[in-house]
Amino acid sequence: MTPGLRIKRWLVLLMFGITVLAVGLAQAIVSIYREADLPAFLYMVTLRFMPEWARIASAAIIGVSAIGIGLYGLNRSILAPFILRSHESLIDVVYAHNRRQRGIKVVAIGGGTGLPAVLRGLKAFTNNITAIVTVADDGGSSGKLRRELGVVPPGDLRNNIAALANDEDLITQLFQYRFAEGGLEGHSFGNLFLTAMANITGSMDRAVAETGRVLAVEGRVLPSTLQDDVTLMAEVRVPGESRLRRVSGESSITGTGGTIERVFLYPDQVRAYPETIRAILNAHLIVIGPGSLFTSILPNLLVNGIVEAIRASRAYTVYVCNVAMQPGETDGFMLVDHILALEAHIGRGVFDAVLGNGHYPTLNEGQQPQFVRQEPKHHAAYERYDIHLADLTDGERPWRHDPKKLAQALLAMYSSITQAVPSQNGAVIAAS
């Protein structure tokens, strides 16, 4: 009887069907009863030897018992595999699934280790999640596969598929496993799996979709583009050099030892993946970041059509700033510096609000991470955007976001704008 399970309606329909069937059978039995002489077999089956009240009671007991035992056995056989896979009760699993199915449509844009934190937090509230990731990675295992096989770099796709998987602990260990020796040294199993699937299915987008089905992923992971020749370029101001140094390749940008002035894609006319544009236009909430500002977030936003789709979407768009500075990329950056860097590349007004960390713990801080702090509120950026600060830090690794805290902060911001949104079936649902 728990509201939201979407079971009661089917039980009512089942009972209606049984009732109609029973009425039909009763009419047949009555016609048999009206015959004066019955064969001995039918005389015993129809309980004619018993008083009328005893026949009615026996039929009710036998019928209800048979239906109950049959339904119990049928459901036990059908649901046994799902019950064995879950550590929760069946009712809890069904209720949580149906609640997430009716959740808001979220699009999260980024890459690296930041975006999975968003996905891990929000997947407890909705199944309607689309992660959009960069394909400009040219380092490590992804870079080797890209150069040798000409495939879209699978690294960020792999990380976010693992974050959305149901059995995340095991899947993460499997997908993130790196071979330490032999011809596969340096490669992760997940990258090899996606590359093999891409060769089987014919494209990386189909490979990601099929992998999601195999791993029971809640949501979708999409590349910002399917072009496999995209290179991230940067103009870096290096101390002691009078001219900006042009750096090619994502993996080389952070090691130049200078200040990144601008990043751009080569070729400059990179086409967005159409399904990615559709997801953005249909979203209720768009989350940009967290992640490496210049090498994970901006490579997505620089793809032709992405920013235009965000501007055209009616979604509430939030930029999530990193908790800590990133060496070689955002050294010395405060919260507003991240905003200004984004505006310099994609213009103003792309996002509606900014979510930043307002807590700077000393417990478990390790090598004293350089937290991204906020400027005084008289800065002009506070007039252009609705800036929220909250405790977003992970207790064990305070330089990273806590997925649960991040999801709760995002949903609180969203619900403050609109208390309810239409679901896929037209019903009105709460935002949190």
Which residues have a Cβ under 8 Å from the Cβ of 203 and sit 6 or more positions away? 226
Q: In the predicted model, is pLDDT for residue 272 greater than 90? A: yes
Mean of the pLDDT values across residues 380-403?
91
Q: How many domains does the chain have?
A: 3
Q: Specify the amino acid at residue 395.
A: G
**Taking residues 80-100, what's their average pLDDT?**
56
Say if 3 falls within a structural domain: no
Helix axes 155-164, 140-149, angle to 10 degrees: 120
Query: In a 3-state reduction of DSSP, which class is residue 91?
Result: helix
Question: pLDDT at residue 23 above 90?
Answer: no
Q: What percent of the chain has pLDDT over 90?
A: 40
- Among residues 357, 275, 346, the alpha carbon closest in space to that of 317 is found at 346
Last residue of a domain, one of 98, 115, 135: 98
Residues 188 and 321 in one domain: yes
pLDDT band at 312 (very low <50, low <70, confident <90, very high): very high
Same domain, 124 and 210: yes
Q: Which of 137-141, 281-285, 337-341, 395-399 has the lowest mean pLDDT?
A: 137-141
Find, among 355, 350, 368, the residue nearest to 405 by Cα. Answer: 355
Residue 259 pLDDT > 60:
yes
More confident residue, 253 or 369: 253
431 falls in which pLDDT band (50, 70, 90)?
very low
pLDDT band at 20 (very low <50, low <70, confident <90, very high): confident
pLDDT the model gives residue 432: 35
Region 230-252 average pLDDT: 91
pLDDT tens for 44-66 read 666 666 777 777 788 788 888 88
DSSP-based three-state secondary structure for 79 = helix
Please report, as a single letter, which amino acid is at residue 31. S
Together in a domain, 27 and 155: no
- What's residue 19's pLDDT? 86
Collapsing DSSP to helix, strand or coil, 106 comes out as strand
- Range with the poorest average pLDDT among 155-159, 199-203, 228-232, 365-369: 365-369
**Higher-scoring residue by pLDDT: 137, 81:** 137
What residue has token string 């992660």? 131
Taking residues 361-367, report their average pLDDT. 69
Same domain, 27 and 140: no
DSSP 3-state of 361: coil
Q: Is the pLDDT higher at 303 or at 375?
A: 303
Q: In the structure, what pLDDT confidence band is assigned to residue 5 with cuts at 50, 70 and 90?
A: low
- Does residue 245 sit in the same domain as residue 346? no
Give the residue, 362 or 391, on which the prediction is more confident: 391
Q: Mean pLDDT over residues 357-374, rounded?
A: 78
Q: Which residues contact 242 (CB under 8 A, 6 or more apart)?
A: none
Give the C-alpha separation, 132 to 109, whole Å. Answer: 5
CATH of the domain at 173: 3.40.50.10680
Examine the domain organization and report whether 307 and 380 are in the same domain.
yes
Q: What is the pLDDT of residue 428?
A: 35
Q: Are residues 35 and 87 in the same domain?
A: yes
Q: Which helix (H) or strand (E) holds 353?
A: strand 353-357
HSE of 264, CA atoms in CB hemisphere, 13 A = 10
Mean pLDDT, all residues of the chain: 83
**Range in 121-130, 358-367, 397-406 the model is least confident about:** 358-367
pLDDT (0 to 100) of residue 102: 67
Do 125 and 41 fall into the same domain?
no
Question: Model confidence at 26, in pLDDT bands (50, 70, 90)?
Answer: confident
How confident is residue 100, by pLDDT bands cut at 50, 70 and 90? Answer: low
Higher pLDDT, 4 or 150: 150
Flag whether 108 is in a domain.
Answer: yes
Query: What was the pLDDT predicted at 365?
Result: 63
- Helix, strand, or coil (residue 287): strand
Q: Write down the H helix ranges in 239-393.
A: 250-253, 274-281, 298-301, 306-312, 335-346, 381-384
Q: What is the pTM of this model?
A: 0.76
Which domain range does residue 85 map to?
8-98
Under DSSP, the state recorded for 376 is P
Q: Are residues 251 and 275 in the same domain?
A: no
Q: What would the two tokens of residue 255 be?
A: 């090691």
In the structure, what pLDDT confidence band is assigned to residue 369 with cuts at 50, 70 and 90?
A: low
pLDDT score of 12 more than 50: yes
Residues 290 and 206 in one domain: yes
| pLDDT for res 285 | 96
Mean pLDDT (whole number) for 255-262: 90
Considering only CA atoms, which of 227, 313, 232, 234 is closest in space to residue 270? 227
Q: Does residue 28 register a pLDDT over 80?
A: no
CA distance 367 to 359: 17
Residues 262 and 411 in one domain: no
Among 82, 98, 114, the domain boundary falls at: 98
Q: What is the pLDDT of residue 141?
A: 79
**Do 363 and 260 fall within a single domain?**
no
In percent, how much of the chain has pLDDT > 70?
83
Domain boundary among the residues 212, 246, 266 is at: 266
pLDDT value for 386: 92
